[in-house]
Structure 1
């Protein structure tokens, strides 16, 4: 059951391989225009958000999370305007969320430190049982 020379491959299909331009067809999922790059502000937002979350327990440094939130909002706006040439919307959203949590934790730590200082919990001095014996 061989086909005569010059007959189409199979049942009218073209053989796999180079197309009319001489190059193989693009792989599945290929985007015309090339590689889609992550937005730099989105990455910075996530890194800053995680760092501020870790530092939120130390003297209220979680307020650095404000930077993560601002960067994340700006990154999401840039990604939407890019028309598909930039990615990283999820990174920016994660940066916004971690930054917001860090801000809340930082404020809680600052309030706790302020309460401790105002009630005298941070004072040093003779405690119970340090007096002189009779």
Structure 2
């Protein structure tokens, strides 16, 4: 077998040591050279002449690859919004109305309230989008309220029709 140093290109130097036998290590002791500050900035000041950021007790941050510590919101970033409280209320009312209709039929009576609360929350969210989030919850609650109200109206119409037919059939 041949010596691995003979197959290495002349510019290759393995990590932490000399390339070929007889070559001197890059930094004198077989260690890689000390990293230098990027773009010629000194270690006593950060980029653009700012003082270096420090941790508690005065220790400078050890950011890898010359990254700077995050010091605030990036440009163009909006503050986080909170979910409108009535958006979740509308969603819960809509789910209770549709789900409860199949169990006992009575919870479908809350469908108009889900529709109303969802529509109102949606209007308020659209009026102040930087303050409120939860448009999808409000919209879903409103749609479930509309479906439940339509089913409620069909149920009431069917009940009225049955009562009318029963009264008409008994008078004959």
TM-score by length of 2: 0.51
Q: Which residue matches 1:95? A: 141
Contact kept in structure 2, 1:59 and 1:106, CA below 8 Å: no
Greater helix share, 1 or 2?
Answer: 2
User: Are 1:15 and 2:66 an aligned pair?
Assistant: yes
Deviation at 1:17, TM superposition (A): 3.0
Q: Which residue matches 1:43? A: 88
Deviation at 1:15, TM superposition (A): 1.6
**Count of paired positions:** 110
Q: CA RMSD in A?
A: 3.3
Q: Which residue matches 1:21? A: none
Cα distance in 2 for residues equivalent to 1:80 and 1:41: 13
- For CA contacts below 8 A with separation 6 or more, give which structure has more relative contact order: 1
Q: What 5-or-longer segments of structure 2 have no aligned partner?
A: 1-32, 42-46, 48-64, 167-172
Contact kept in structure 2, 1:63 and 1:107, CA below 8 Å: no
Contact kept in structure 2, 1:60 and 1:107, CA below 8 Å: no
Q: Which residue matches 1:82? A: 128
* Residues 1-134 of structure 1: pairs in structure 2 closer than 5 A: 7-8=40-41, 15-18=66-69, 24-25=70-71, 31-33=77-79, 35-57=80-102, 58-59=104-105, 61-120=107-166
Q: What 5-or-longer segments of structure 1 have no aligned partner?
A: 19-23, 121-134
Structure 1 or 2, whichever has the larger Rg, is: 2
* 1:84 match: secondary structure: coil
